[in-house]
Amino acid sequence: MNALWTALLPAIAAGVFGIGGVLLGRRQTTDQAEVEHGQWLRGQRLEAYVQFLEAWEEALADYQNMQDTWDAYTDANPIYQAQNGEEMIFGAVSDRTHGFIVAVRPLRERVQILGPARVETAASVLHTTLVELRQELLARPHETGWDHFDELMS
């Protein structure tokens, strides 16, 4: 019986250590996959954030340009002086500013999908600001002053 234990003990120990080694190796592979996924996700997030901010800044610059050249859309524009000219200007401004919103929306949605929540919230606030700027420009033919528009721009 003693000889039997002498033969079985090393085999049992080898089996236990072999299974432990496999489990440890599997754990290391899982850890490596988690690290690589984290790196990939950070890269995707960074790309999404940069694209969103670039599009947002471009839209903001376009809004600023529209404000700076507002007279070209209104008083100095012969179309504005014509019958239904205000509606035509309103339509042109509406179409152009709608393009700003449409260009930024899918980038905001990508940021929202990739998270985290703080960045998702910030992206939504920035997008909402673009929508509010659009509403301010569309109200221009009936309003005077740029105070609220300037406040949104800053």
Residue 14 phi, psi dihedral angles, 5° rounding: -65, -40
Per-residue confidence (pLDDT) for residue 121, from 0 to 100: 93
> What's the token pair of residue 114?
């990739």
| Residues 6+ positions from 152 with CB-CB distance below 8 Å | 129, 132, 133, 136
Question: For residue range 13-55, what is the model confidence (pLDDT) as tens digits?
Answer: 667 666 766 666 666 667 787 888 889 999 999 999 999 999 9
Per-residue confidence (pLDDT) for residue 52, from 0 to 100: 94
- Grouping H, G, I as helix, E, B as strand and the rest as coil, residue 24 is helix
Instruction: For the chain, give every domain's residue range.
Output: 43-153
Per-residue confidence (pLDDT) for residue 110, from 0 to 100: 93
How many H helices and E strands in the chain?
6, 0
Is residue 134 packed enough to be buried (19+ CB in 10 Å), middle (13-18) or exposed (0-12)? buried
Low-confidence ranges of the chain (pLDDT < 70): 1-9, 11, 13-14, 16-18, 20-29, 72-86, 140-144
The CA distance from 24 to 34, in Å, is 15
Percent of the chain with pLDDT over 90: 31
| Residues 6+ positions from 25 with CB-CB distance below 8 Å | none
Per-residue confidence (pLDDT) for residue 140, from 0 to 100: 66
Per-residue confidence (pLDDT) for residue 112, from 0 to 100: 92
Per-residue confidence (pLDDT) for residue 147, from 0 to 100: 82
